[in-house]
Amino acid sequence: MIGDDVALPVLLGFGHDGWALALIAGAGLTMALSLTAMAIGTVLGALLTVAQMSRRGWLAALAQGYGLVLRGVPELLVVLLLYFGTPGLLAAIAALAGLPAPGSPPAFLTGSVAIGLVSAAYQAEVFRGGLLAVPRGQVEAAIAAGMGPFTRFRRVIAPQVLHHVLPPLGNIWQFNLKDSALVAITGLAELMRVSLVAAGSTRRPFAFFAAAMVLYLVLTSASSAVFRFAEARAGRWAGGR
Amino acid sequence: MMGESGTGESGFLADTALAIVAAVPVTLALFVACAVGASLLAGVLVAAQQGRVGGLVARAWIFVFRGTPLLLQIFMVYYGLAALGPVRHGPLWPAFRDPLFCAFLAMTCCCSAYIAEVLRAALAAIPPGQIEAARACGMARWTLGRRIVVPQMVRLALPAYGNELVMMLKSTSLASSVTVLDVTGVAQQVIAHSYRTVEVFCLAAAVYLGLTAALTWLLRRIERRLDPAGGR
Amino acid sequence: MTETRPTVLRARGITKRFGDREVLRGIDLDAARGDVVSILGGSGSGKSTFLRCLNLLELPDAGTIEIAGSPAPLAHDARGRARIANPRALNALRAKTAMVFQNFNLWSHMTVIDNIAAAPVHVHGMARAEAVARAHDLLDKVGMTGFAGHWPRQLSGGQQQRVAIARALATDPDLMLFDEPTSALDPERVREVLDLMRALAGEGRTMLIVTHEMAFARDVSSHVVHVRDGVIESMGPPALMFGPDASPVFRGFLSPP
Ligand SMILES: Nc1ncnc2c1ncn2[C@@H]1O[C@H](COP(=O)(O)OP(=O)(O)OP(=O)(O)O)[C@@H](O)[C@H]1O
Ligand SMILES: [Mg+2]
């Protein structure tokens, strides 16, 4: 785009030659990607927790195996595998149904699913720990008091589980946020990708990577502030412990 | 496609598996170097946190390296620093030109921040009464550190420290992004001229799975060694 | 406090503030070899703080301490804040004392035998083999034969406290400090620890004991000290303190209206 002769403030600014807007848009996409991944991870993680605690041995083993594999393989490989693997997989499925190959799914989708799959493995562990932390006697007391399953969950289990899981969930969120940078290799224009493109085309890698670092720091510290606030609220909800 | 059945198919997979396994030493070397470097650096960070000025520096270090993606840090070291005159024309240029060294440097800095947090938590978890008991019988500072604080810290830190090591082992795969030919790097190289993406990445994933399982097993054994009463 | 026996402890004017709260307001206490001094008093009166000042786990703001002939290396800076003048002398002073805590404080990363042998080896420089042999003797003495290889968390509270007492005895201290050694124990475990302490008193050990066990204080101690609001309200032999001529304040403490 622009050569070495343009001044750094201009390159980092909002003007015609500046990258500020692109970087901020990238940060927004990073945020959207991480949020989607976190949501996928929460839903799948909850399902995995239920499966892990199931009395059906094969189901519990399956959930456990999922966790072992996804926590034992680099996140980068999961992202790569999904990005390169899904078009073939979709084509195979389509062929079975006698349809033409649907082409590649959007990078945002494969990226957030990849990070979400990993996130689910970690979130399942957290949920299980949270459930186990509720003393069995308290659940029995709730049953003895005549609470139905829903009331029991809403009034006795959920507040305590939430109190236990929020800090580790905050940690997982931070990892999601940072792992989302891996999706840059698929070409999705999130923050990491934008900084790479900017660094390449302006030949000012130091400045643009530093700018990206600052933006990531803003995202991570802002979200940890949100989690601290939520933890304080959940603490009060669970009886100030 | 048609002709590539039977021996051709299994031949390709066997060749790929061999190539990937041959890259395991690179991954392991990077991991061990980072584990040693990051642990030492983390020790320094925790020590620095005991002082006021050092505490500020250590806090900033931990904030930056825990708050940004490792991939970005690796690019920063390999491409970002290389663009700076003092680095490019300095005496360390041969090192900074080497992608393996840059990956090692970035990973060591990053992991040191995580391990420092683990160590700090372990230090805070030592029962103060046990330190008091040591002071009450006249143990000198150094003896107290060596006989009471460090052994307790190691025991308390070990589970979380082990998790960090597993994370670190997985993170070594990011080195491939700056052309290091580790397990992931070799896998990508094979893919570049065979286009057999899924099989090759699955092979690489299996190798990592084996490595992390072995590391987890080793850590569990060490934990048991150190604490034979096993939390009873 | 008899002239013929050597003085083991000599504390004068011990004063300690936490913030603007004066917790100790000038305590004087002497103990001769073989004395068993029970320190009684209400909660928050400063008993623990006093005991912890004696081995400088807390630094007194004023006062002097001398244990077995060595003065405590206390100094005060320009603003009157206490500090350690000489760390080496501090450790030497502490090596002459031993402390038994309310919640045992056994080192959880060491087996029973290593807990007992640690101070002889790492503070007094005794050979390990000798320290271990002596530790085994001490285990027999506190009735814990056969527990050498156990870990602290495998023991009951009473057993842990007996090991802690063996650990305290291991350095053959001139002065033993006990801070409510039975307060964290079940009633049936209290006896085993009190019996052991009674035996130690019979051997002529010099002991300062903060306790709420009145019967023990009356039967075993040579002196009873009543601390109230950071000063010694009254003191004397148990026959006097538990008799009709005791101070009314102390009588009020023993049997509140
Ligand atoms: N480290 C400290 N910082 C601030 N205040 C303290 C500290 N230690 C003790 N205190 C205060 O000093 C006072 C005396 O405490 P101390 O522990 O000596 O009492 P005690 O006589 O041993 O009581 P108890 O019988 O309950 O053990 C208390 O009011 C306590 O709150
Ligand atoms: Mg007390």
pLDDT per residue as tens digits for the range B159-196: 999 999 999 999 999 999 999 999 999 999 998 888 78
- pLDDT digits over C203-233, tens only? 999 999 999 999 999 999 999 999 999 999 9
Q: Residue B227 pLDDT more than 80?
A: no
B211 domain-assigned: no
Shortest alpha-carbon distance between residue B68 and chain A (Å): 6
Question: CA C152 to CA C118: how far, in whole Å?
Answer: 14
Residues C134-160 as b or e (16 or more Cβ within 10 Å = b): bbbebbebbebeebbebbbeebebbbb
Please tell me the predicted confidence (pLDDT) of residue B228: 61
Size of interface A-B (CB pairs under 8 A): 116
B132 domain-assigned: yes
Per DSSP bridges, beta strands C97-100 and C74-76 are: unpaired
Question: CA B126 to CA C44: how far, in whole Å?
Answer: 26
Return all residues near C81 (Cβ < 8 A) that are at least 6 apart: C61
* List of chain A residues whose C-beta atoms are within 8 Å of the C-beta of residue B81: 206
Least CB–CB distance from C92: residue in B127, B138, B152: B138
Percent of chain A at pLDDT > 70 equals 95
Q: Residue A84 pLDDT more than 70?
A: yes
Least CB–CB distance from B75: residue in A71, A204, A209: A209
Say if residue A130 is exposed, middle or buried (CB neighbours under 10 Å; 0-12, 13-18, 19+): buried
Say if residue C205 is exposed, middle or buried (CB neighbours under 10 Å; 0-12, 13-18, 19+): buried
Please tell me the predicted confidence (pLDDT) of residue B52: 84
Q: Residue A3 pLDDT more than 50?
A: no
B55 domain-assigned: yes
The rounded Å distance from CA C57 to ligand 1 centre is 13
Question: CA B184 to CA C68: how far, in whole Å?
Answer: 69
* List of chain A residues whose C-beta atoms are within 8 Å of the C-beta of residue B64: 213, 217
B149 domain-assigned: yes
C112: amino acid identity, one letter: V
Give the DSSP H/E element, type plus range, for residue B61.
helix B52-67
Q: What is the pTM of this model?
A: 0.84
Please tell me the predicted confidence (pLDDT) of residue B109: 96
Q: Residue A19 pLDDT more than 90?
A: no
List the structure tokens of A60: 């519990």
**CATH number listed for the domain at residues A8-237:** 1.10.3720.10
How far is CA A68 from each of CA A59, A122, C123, C183, rounded to the nearest angstrom?
14, 10, 48, 47
A30, A68, A80, A81: best to mutate for the B interface, most B CBs within 10 A: A80
Q: Residue A204 pLDDT more than 50?
A: yes
CB of C204 closer than 8 Å to CB of C173 = no
B3: confidence class by pLDDT, cuts 50, 70, 90: very low
List the structure tokens of A28: 């927004």
Check C151 against B229: CB less than 8 A apart.
yes
Q: Residue B82 pLDDT more than 90?
A: no
The reply to whether C109 touches chain B by the CB within 8 Å rule is yes
Q: Domain range for residue B145?
A: 24-180
CB of A188 closer than 8 Å to CB of A27 = no
B141 domain-assigned: yes
C68: amino acid identity, one letter: A
Please tell me the predicted confidence (pLDDT) of residue A142: 81
Q: In chain A, which ranges are continuous DSSP H helix?
A: 8-11, 20-52, 57-72, 75-96, 107-132, 136-144, 149-151, 158-179, 191-202, 205-237
Check C101 against B129: CB less than 8 A apart.
yes
Which among A39, A169, A221, A206 is positioned nearest to B68, based on CA atoms?
A221
* List of chain B residues whose C-beta atoms are within 8 Å of the C-beta of residue C174: none
CATH number at residue B165: 1.10.3720.10
Number of domains in chain B: 1
List the structure tokens of C229: 């609001």
Helix axes B24-49, B7-22, angle to 10 degrees: 30
User: Looking at residue C110, what DSSP letter applies?
Assistant: S
Q: Give chain C's mean pLDDT.
A: 92
Domain ranges of chain A: 8-237
